[in-house]
Structure formats: structure tokens, C-alpha cells
Structure 1
Amino acid sequence: MGLEQQDLPEWWNWELELTPHVLKRMEDRDFNEVDLRTMLEHAQGHRPDAVEGRWIIEARHQRQRWQIIVEPDEFERLLVVVTAYPMTR
């Protein structure tokens, strides 16, 4: 079950921009843009990252917990996806 719409920041629904880094990680970690969009649509939480201006999105993919690092671009109104990775136990 995803987050409720009223619990989401304004940037949540902005158009995505995928960085070269996340495109490489998609190949390395066997997921694609559809998987990424599905994870974001059904995200379980979000919190500020240690890097100012970035956020950690908590999600699930293939029965595993994942974290997606995003950086909202206020000027362009884009949600820049920096990276995504499965959480190791």
C-alpha cells in the first residue's frame, strides 16, 4: 500500500529525470524505469537524506526493501532520481 496523497510533498508528482548514474544502476541491479515508477507509486515512506536537498524514498521491489534517492529540482520542477538500491539484511 502506498502513501496517502495528502502525505506527499509537492515534488512527488513532478516529472522524473533519470541521472546517468541511476541508468547504470538499473542495468547492474536488474530493474527498469517501469519498476522504478511502480516503486515510487507504491512507496512506503520518505525522509530527508544526509545530503542536503535529497530525499530517501522507502519502497519494495521483488519482495525486497529498496531505497530510492531523489533530489527535487525546484527551478525545473523535476524529480531527479539519483540512485536506487535494495536494502541488504
Structure 2
Amino acid sequence: MLTYYVLFRSAETAEPVGIFVVDPAMGHALLWDHRRRSWTYNPDLVTRFLDDHRNFGRYREVDRSVADRAAMDVSGGQTLPDVEAIGRIFAQAAVEDAD
């Protein structure tokens, strides 16, 4: 089951600045990378951000439809990968980690 998070610059702002897609059971995570302008697999960064008490007010768990709309804003028009594509990204990362 995937969990979606929308990130904000501060607890007081409403404009999204980031998106995380997390599979908590398997420890996988995907995020929009502004520098690369692409979806990037990076569970370590996502975990550090979500577990840092200083960020607790800066993100909100949302459903897929809200995450899709936020992704368009954050990425400049790109949608979230579909669930199957996310699964393939996570599976490929697991294979690469095993090597």
C-alpha cells in the first residue's frame, strides 16, 4: 500500500513544494527531484525528512488524487507515475540493492 505526502516550505504555507511516495512495508520511497527534474528513488532522504521532528508541520499525508494535483504544481506539469510504474521502480531498486 502506497502512502503519499505533500511537502510545504513551512507549517504556515499552503503551496506544495515537494511530493513523496512511500511504501512503508518495504522501505521504498520516491520523490520529485527538482535538480534532475524527474522522479527519483531515495528512501534514505525521505525517511530522514519524515522522521525529523523539525519537519513534522511541513508535510501532510494525502490521498492519491491530492498527490496527483500537487505533483503537477511541484514538477511544473508532470503527473505522478502510475501505481504499476512505481512498483517497477521499487522492484528495480530492490534488485540493484541486492547486487
TM range (shorter): under 0.3
Q: Give the structure with the larger strand fraction.
A: 1
* TM-score (ref. length: structure 2): 0.24
Bigger RCO of structures 1 and 2 (CA < 8 A, at least 6 apart): 1
* TM-score (ref. length: structure 1): 0.25
Q: Quick check: which has more Rg, 1 or 2?
A: 2
Q: Give the structure with the larger helix fraction.
A: 2
